[in-house]
Copies of this chain bind each other. A is one copy, B any other.
Amino acid sequence: MPPNSPRDAIRGAATELFARDGYAGTTVRAIAAAAGCDPALVIRHFGSKEALFLATVPASTELARILAGPVESLGRELVGFVLGASESRVAGVYRAMLSASDRPEIKERLRASMHDVFVGPLADRIGGAYPELRARLVAAQFAGLINAYWLVADPVLRNADRSATVELYGDAIQRLLDSDDPP
């Protein structure tokens, strides 16, 4: 696979545009123009716009690294990751996936990747009752924060003291991680 192949150029342009303009806001023609090729080539290489989008979704290694860290400080770590995620592409990708989530295949991919990188590994590491349910609820909190901070971009959150957000929301997540319930 040559590094400068048109296939990579298309995927690179698509990654950028999807993250910036969302799924519906990005046209196949715009991707082709940014990649310097014909629109038909985009479809020819990836089959469909939806398949191209799914090919741009990366495997977040940084998130996996955090989830593999110490459980007792995971809540605040996760919040810190979300608030500082501008450099990585996690926010844009998640935003694009949510914006396209009426498509069944994209919704399924969203669910599957959430389960594979988040719920599954986390459920294995926390004790107590209902580990998988609790891991999934932590993922719900996590997605809720990304949603509020990056997608809705609520000013209350954006202007708030960052360390206060980390402490407050981090501890609320931590409550679901700690297994202090009686059996």
Which residues of A are in contact with B by a Cβ distance under 8 Å? 21-25, 95, 98-99, 101-102, 107, 110-111, 114-115, 119, 129-130, 132-134, 136-137, 139-145, 147-149, 151-154, 156-157, 160-161, 164-165, 168-169, 171-173, 175-176
Option from B133, B141, B143, B152 in Cβ contact (under 8 Å) with A111:
B152
B172/A148 in contact, CB under 8 A: no
B147/A107 in contact, CB under 8 A: no
Chain B nearest CB: distance from A21 CB in Å?
7
Option from B99, B130, B175 in Cβ contact (under 8 Å) with A99:
B99
Enumerate chain B residues within 8 angstroms of A23, measured Cβ to Cβ: 102
Enumerate chain B residues within 8 angstroms of A173, measured Cβ to Cβ: 172
Chain B nearest CB: distance from A176 CB in Å?
5
Using CB atoms, name the residue of chain B closest to A148: B140
Q: In the complex, A119 Cα to B160 Cα: how many Å?
A: 14
B136/A147 in contact, CB under 8 A: no
Chain B nearest CB: distance from A130 CB in Å?
6
Q: Among the interface residues A164, A171, A175, which one has the most CB atoms of the partner chain B within 10 A? A: A175
Enumerate chain B residues within 8 angstroms of A142, measured Cβ to Cβ: 144
Chain B nearest CB: distance from A136 CB in Å?
4
B111/A136 in contact, CB under 8 A: no
Q: In the complex, A147 Cα to B161 Cα: how many Å?
A: 26
Given contact pairs A142-B144, A144-B142, A144-B147, A110 touches B152 in the complex (Cβ within 8 A): yes
A-B pairs with the 8 shortest C-beta distances?
A144-B144, A22-B102, A140-B148, A140-B144, A136-B156, A99-B102, A133-B160, A172-B175
For this complex, 26 residue pairs linking A to B, each with C-beta atoms less than 8 Å apart, are A21-B102, A22-B102, A25-B102, A95-B102, A98-B99, A99-B102, A101-B151, A111-B152, A111-B153, A129-B164, A130-B164, A133-B156, A133-B160, A133-B165, A134-B168, A136-B156, A136-B160, A137-B169, A137-B172, A140-B147, A141-B144, A143-B147, A144-B145, A147-B147, A168-B176, A172-B175
